[in-house]
Amino acid sequence: MTRAIVIRAHGGPDEMRLEEIAVPDPGPGELLVEVAAAGVNYIDTYHRSGTYSTPLPFTLGQEAAGRVIGVGEGVTELAEGDTVAWGHSDGSYAEHAIVSAQQAVPVPAGIDPTIAAALMLQGMTSHYLVHSILPLGEGDTVLVHAGAGGVGLLLTQLLVREGVRVLTTAGTPEKAALSRGAGAAEVLDYDGFGRAVRDLTDGRGVRAVFDGVGATTFSEGLDALQPRGTFVLFGAASGPVPPVDPRDLNTKGSLVLTRPSLAHFIADRAELEWRAADVFAAVADGDLDVRIGGTYPLAEAATAHVDLEGRATTGKLLLLP
C-alpha cells in the first residue's frame, strides 16, 4: 500500500484526505516513481475547488520528482533507478505516482530532486514566458506581478539574464527585499502600481505585463502598457478577470492580450526536453537561484493550500512524502 492526497468532493482544503491506496502498476509507456518531492501550485487549488473540472475521486498534484522503481512496456529511454521529474501529470501528491514516460525528463546529476520538483512547473513556465511569448531583450522594461512568488522570483532572474529591466509588485517589505534580490530594478506597491509604472518609464509604460494574479491587477495592468504592448495573463490567484471588450485593447494602444498555459508549450517532446534542460543548466551554472519557501509532510498538504491561497508565502512550496 501507499499513501496519497485524494479529494472525493470539490471544495476547500478540508476536502483533502490522506488515504491509503494500492501501489499502482505502470502500464504501457508509463513509469512508477517513488516520489521524493511534489510541488504545490495554484492549479492544484483550482482542481481541488472545482474551478477546473476533474473526475472524482481525484489525486491532486501535477509536479514532482523521484526515483523510477517500475517501467511499463515499451519504455526504452528511461530505466529503473533513474531520477526523473515532471510538471504536468496528475496524481503527484503521493508517495508513489504513475507518470507517462513522455511527460518525465531525466534529472541531471548534481541537481537535487527537491530542486527539480520545484522547477518543473514554475521554472518551465518562466522559461516559456521569457522565450516564447514575445521577443524581449536589452532596452525593454516589463512589469512582473507577485515578484516574490515562485514564478515571480524565477521569471525575474530569467528576464534579467536577457538584459530586460524588470519592475515588480510585492505586498510586504520582506517580499520586496526578496524580489530585489532576484534582480528587480524597482519593486512597487500594488496600490497605485499603474501610476508608478508611468513615472518610472517617463510616461510611456512597459513593453509587457506578466500577471499571474488576475482579477485585482488586470485592469490597472492594461493601463500600464505602452502602445502595442503585450499583456500576458498566465494565472488568476485573485480570481478570474472580468470579460474584456476587444475594442478596449484598440483604444488603449493596439494592445495584445494572451492567456497562455504551460501544457501548450511542452506538448512536443523536443520542446519539453529543451525547456527542462535549459532550466536545469541555469541552476547548475548558478544563473538561477531556486527559493524553497516552505516544505510540508504529505499529511499537511491542506495546510500548504491554505498558506498558498492566503498569499503568505514566498518562493516554492513542496510536499515531502
- Could you count the other beta carbons within 10 Å of the beta carbon of residue 28? 9
pLDDT tens sequence across 177-223: 999 999 999 999 999 999 999 999 999 999 999 999 999 999 999 99
Annotated domain spans of the chain: 2-122+266-320, 134-259
The DSSP annotation for 61-130 comes to: -S-EEEEEEEE-TT--S--TT-EEEESS-S--SBSEEEEETTT-EEPPTTS-HHHHHHHHHHHHHHHHHH
- Cα 177 from Cα 40, distance rounded (Å): 23
pLDDT tens sequence across 260-277: 999 999 999 999 999 999
- Residue 32 has phi, psi (to 5 degrees) of -105, 125
Spatial CA neighbour of 167 closest among 200, 203, 123: 200
Burial-class residue 139 by CB neighbours within 10 Å (0-12, 13-18, 19+): exposed
pLDDT at residue 237 above 90?
A: no
Q: What is the mean pLDDT of the chain?
A: 96
Q: What is the pLDDT of residue 287?
A: 93
Amino acid of residue 157 = Q
**Which ranges of the chain does DSSP label H, i.e. alpha helix?**
42-49, 113-131, 150-161, 173-181, 193-200, 218-223, 246-251, 269-284, 301-309
pLDDT tens sequence across 267-309: 999 999 999 999 999 999 999 999 999 999 999 999 999 999 9
State the pTM of this model: 0.93
CATH match for 2-122+266-320 among 3.40.1350.10, 3.90.180.10, 3.40.50.920, 3.40.50.300: 3.90.180.10
Q: What is the pLDDT of residue 313?
A: 85
Residue range 227-242: average pLDDT? 94
Domain 134-259 belongs in CATH node 3.40.50.300: no
